[in-house]
């Protein structure tokens, strides 16, 4: 296996020599992207030690990298695109009735790092109430919720074959994530699932650069014993690449972007939205619960959030351990956005004010949410809106957080 090694020496601010090494193991397309990414990171370290060159050269390097990687992505994805023009899974907000039949016990017990894929049959009720059956393969997925100490029913990934989905609502999907109820025989966990689902729906109101979701009531049926089944709610999540394509963009997987490198308007909306729902479990630099969408090589990427189960609005029981671990970032709400000008903050507040009626309407009309949970959510969101309706005080609070964070 042929490899390249590049070593760069320079003097840092403390006059100690630093050395950077990286290797590219193959000449395939992904390795070339990796090579360019590493070149970018090496140069990032070099130019940071040359203050007078840093800003100019980093922008040049970012543009070069994005142009090249975007071109490769365009070549690789420009043909053979799945057809999703027909009415599809995410074109309705109705609760989908679903049956998943297979060796469910074996499936949900496979919690290995690289779990097997198990054959199953996914059946859903069409507009006439008739069930349409599709052969699929299913595997467990996730990190925290795949741990049996946290959930006894893990999230799932469903793999579909183009041969079996041509005339179904899953047309154009090759695989799809399913967020499950986490804990069987614990009804309150369905309420947490509804609340996380509602946050995805909520963000759809703020920007099309957001993941669509579809709520489903699913019966998990043990194929050798059909009487042995679990019925609970779950929701499907749109795949990142399809979300990007819907917005005429591409997904890029490049870490170490700072907030200043991103589309400013999109990042500001994201940051204040996360503040509103009291979610601190996201980091742009590490692409932690963030996807980046690029529309063209010369435009800054657009960040898109996902995984909201640690949000205060969801208030899942395991959130407390996360809050305790953050120490200085343990407040229910912590603003991780850019410390903008007063004018920029006011414009952002105005956008959220415009969406206020839609925000409250979503929860007021969500019948599956129990009144107790609904009341807490409305109270929490009301406190957020009360804050931004006093812009002077709100800006002071947000600047305190963002100055600490940055």
For 152-194, give the DSSP string: SB--EEEEE-GGG-TTSTTTT-SEEEEE--BSTT-THHHHHHH
Measured distance CA(397)–CA(406) in Å, rounded: 15
Kindly report the CA angle at 196 between 105 and 206, in degrees rounded to 5? 140
Q: What is the DSSP letter of 115?
A: P
What are the extents of the domains in the chain?
A: 4-77, 89-241, 248-405
- Could you read off the pLDDT tens digit of each residue along the chain, which spans 406 residues? 333 333 333 333 332 333 233 223 333 344 444 445 445 444 444 444 444 444 545 555 555 555 555 554 544 444 445 555 456 999 999 999 999 999 999 999 999 999 999 999 999 999 999 999 999 999 999 988 999 989 999 999 999 999 999 999 999 999 999 999 999 989 899 999 999 999 999 999 999 999 999 999 999 999 999 888 999 999 999 999 999 999 999 999 888 888 889 999 999 999 999 999 999 999 998 899 999 999 998 899 999 999 999 999 999 988 766 554 444 444 589 999 999 999 999 999 999 999 999 999 999 999 999 999 999 999 999 999 999 999 999 999 999 998 776 6
Give the total residue count for the chain.
Answer: 406
Q: What is the rounded (10 degree) CA torsion for 83, 89, 93, 96?
A: 160
Contacts of 35 (CB under 8 A, 6+ apart): 4, 22, 24
Contact in structure between 295 and 249 (CB atoms under 8 Å): yes
Residue showing tokens 């049996």: 148
Contact 211, 187 (CB under 8 A): no
Residue 303, SS3 per DSSP = strand
Look at the alpha carbons of 283, 288, 292, 297 in this order and tell me if their dihedral is positive or negative: positive
Tell me the three state secondary structure of residue 48. Answer: helix
């Amino acid at each position: 296996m042929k490899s390249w090694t590049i070593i760069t020496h320079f003097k840092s601010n403390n006059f100690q020599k630093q050395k950077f090494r990286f290797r590219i193991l193959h000449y395939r397309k992904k390795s070339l992207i990796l090579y360019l990414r590493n070149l970018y990171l090496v140069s990032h370290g070099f130019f940071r030690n040359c203050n007078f060159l840093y800003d100019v050269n980093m922008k040049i390097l970012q543009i070069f990298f994005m142009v090249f990687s975007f071109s490769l992505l365009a070549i690789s994805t420009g043909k053979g695109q799945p057809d999703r023009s027909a009415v599809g899974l995410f074109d309705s907000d109705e609760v989908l009735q679903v049956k998943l039949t297979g060796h469910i016990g074996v499936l949900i017990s496979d919690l290995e790092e690289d779990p097997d894929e198990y054959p199953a049959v996914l059946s859903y009720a069409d507009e006439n109430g008739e069930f349409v059956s599709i052969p699929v393969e299913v595997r467990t997925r996730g990190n925290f919720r795949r741990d049996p100490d946290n959930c006894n029913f893990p999230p799932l990934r469903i793999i579909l074959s183009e041969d079996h989905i041509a005339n179904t609502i899953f047309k154009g999907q090759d695989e799809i994530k399913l967020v499950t109820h986490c804990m069987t025989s614990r009804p309150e966990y369905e309420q947490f699932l509804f609340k996380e689902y509602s946050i995805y729906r909520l963000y759809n109101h703020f920007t099309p650069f957001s993941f669509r979701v579809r709520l489903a009531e699913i019966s998990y049926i043990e194929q050798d014993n059909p009487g042995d089944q679990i019925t609970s709610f779950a929701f499907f999540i749109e795949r990142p690449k399809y979300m990007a394509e819907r917005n005429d963009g591409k997904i890029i997987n490049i870490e170490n972007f700072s907030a200043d490198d991103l589309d400013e308007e999109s990042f500001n909306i994201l940051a204040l939205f996360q503040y509103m729902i009291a979610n601190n479990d996201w980091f742009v630099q590490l692409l932690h619960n963030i996807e980046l969408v690029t529309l063209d090589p010369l435009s800054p990427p657009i960040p898109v959030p996902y995984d909201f189960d640690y949000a205060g609005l969801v208030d899942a029981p395991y959130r407390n351990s996360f809050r305790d671990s953050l120490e200085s970032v343990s407040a229910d709400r912590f603003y991780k956005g850019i410390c903008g000008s007063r004018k920029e903050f006011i414009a952002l507040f105005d956008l959220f004010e415009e969406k206020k009626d839609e925000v409250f309407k979503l929860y007021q009309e969500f019948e599956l949410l129990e009144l107790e949970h609904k009341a807490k959510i409305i109270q929490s969101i009301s406190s957020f809106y009360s804050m931004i309706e006093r812009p002077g005080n709100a800006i002071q609070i947000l600047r305190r957080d963002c100055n600490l964070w940055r």
